[in-house]
Amino acid sequence: MRLVKDIISIHTNTPLDRFLGQQAQVLNREEIRVSHSVHVDYLDIAFTETTLPEEHACLYLFPIDDNQFCLQLLYLQHDESKAYTAHVSWIQFLPAFFDQYPAESLMANSPFRFDQTTEQQFTICAQTRSLLTQLQQATGLTDFLQSLQQTELSLHLLRRSLESIAVPFTVCQVPACRFLAYETERDKIGEAKMILDTRFDQPITIKELSRKVAMNECYLKKGFKALTGKTIHEYQQELRISKAKELLKGQEHSVSDVANLLGFSSISHFSTAFKKATGLKPCELLA
């Protein structure tokens, strides 16, 4: 068996020893190179102490140079079949991964700062567990398709971790929102938000959304407002108007095209909603 410190010598800036928090040994290690900029390691860990650290996850961000970062996600889950053992999923996003994004968009979001190394702990929710399982068991008709699937799952996990850090949860004191004290209920709100994010061009009713996430309509509306600060309608409208501004500024679509693409019932309805949100008429962005 190899000591954890043997693994640490392989990867620069690795936080594995700090993440585990106690003496441990690596029983088995599987390495997957998802792409040239995303690497995944699966480690089976045996602890020498009589108590296991709690299941948890951590994000580590290391500034390398101006607008260059190395980001690592580590997830520790207990192995129920063996005493004092655990599984660690370790996802590394290398500097080349962040080269595809404008520097200003990175620096505008926590925790990206050139002068600061970041360590943030967050919980492993039910959806994260599912994504980790899918990542390890991903299969494809070809190596390339499998790599695409693993890339998508890695990005999903990165997004969830950043959202967990950027929007820390505080239990709402309003009696009707006390159900949000349960992680499973917060996960349903998060799932609803992700559905809206991917369907901004196809308006969805609250009834349909509540069925998709298996949540009472009233709870969904109250919980969404408590966690996001916006009603579901306000959030949908904000997404659509933001996309409309992007399309209009591109000068490749007419006002009519944009209204149709984003699912507005008519040009007049689109123009009214756009002016209410921005103070401008859609055609002014085409001038």
The tens place of each residue's pLDDT in the chain, 287 residues long, gives: 333 433 333 333 456 777 887 778 889 999 999 999 999 999 999 987 767 778 888 898 888 877 788 999 999 998 877 878 899 999 999 999 998 888 888 877 767 765 667 888 888 887 888 899 999 998 877 889 999 999 999 999 999 888 877 654 444 444 456 777 777 888 889 899 989 988 877 778 888 999 999 988 888 988 888 888 888 888 888 888 888 888 888 777 888 888 888 877 778 878 888 888 888 888 877 76
Q: Is position 194 within any domain? A: yes
Verdict on whether the full-model pTM lies above 0.85: no
183 lies in the same domain as 250: yes
CB atoms within 10 A of CB 106: 15
Is 142 among the domain residues? no
Query: Residue 158 falls within a domain, yes or no?
Result: no
Contact 280, 274 (CB under 8 A): yes
State how far the Cα of 192 lies from the Cα of 256, in Å rounded to an integer: 29
Please check whether residue 195 is in contact with residue 213, taking contact to mean a CB–CB distance below 8 angstroms: yes
β-strand pairing of 2-3 with 24-33 = antiparallel
**Residue 213 near residue 186 (C-beta atoms within 8 A):** no
Q: What is the CATH number of the domain that holds 263?
A: 1.10.10.60
On whether both 117 and 214 belong to a single domain, the answer is no
- On whether the CB atoms of residues 219 and 179 are closer than 8 A, the answer is yes
Per the CB < 8 A criterion, the answer to whether 165 and 112 are in contact is no
Q: Say how many domains are in the chain.
A: 2
Q: Are strands 56-65 and 38-47 parallel, antiparallel or unpaired?
A: unpaired
Domain match, 27 and 106 both: yes
Of the three residues 100, 122, 144, the one that is the final residue of a domain is: 122
Q: What CA–CA distance (Å, rounded) separates 158 from 93?
A: 9
* HEC assignment per residue over 183-232: HHHHHHHHHHHHHHHHCCCCCCCHHHHHHHHCCCHHHHHHHHHHHHCCCH
* Token pair for 69: 């970062």
Helices (H), 32-80: none
Whether residue 162 contacts residue 168, with contact meaning beta carbons closer than 8 Å, is answered with: no
Measure the CA–CA gap between 211 and 188, rounded to whole angstroms.
11
Is residue 203 reached through a cis peptide bond, with omega within 30 degrees of 0 on the bond before it?
no
State both tokens at 11: 């990867």
Whether 118 and 22 map to the same domain: the answer is yes
Residue 259 domain-assigned (yes or no): yes
What residues make up the domain containing 94? Answer: 2-122
Residue 172's closest CA among 108, 238, 130, 219?
219
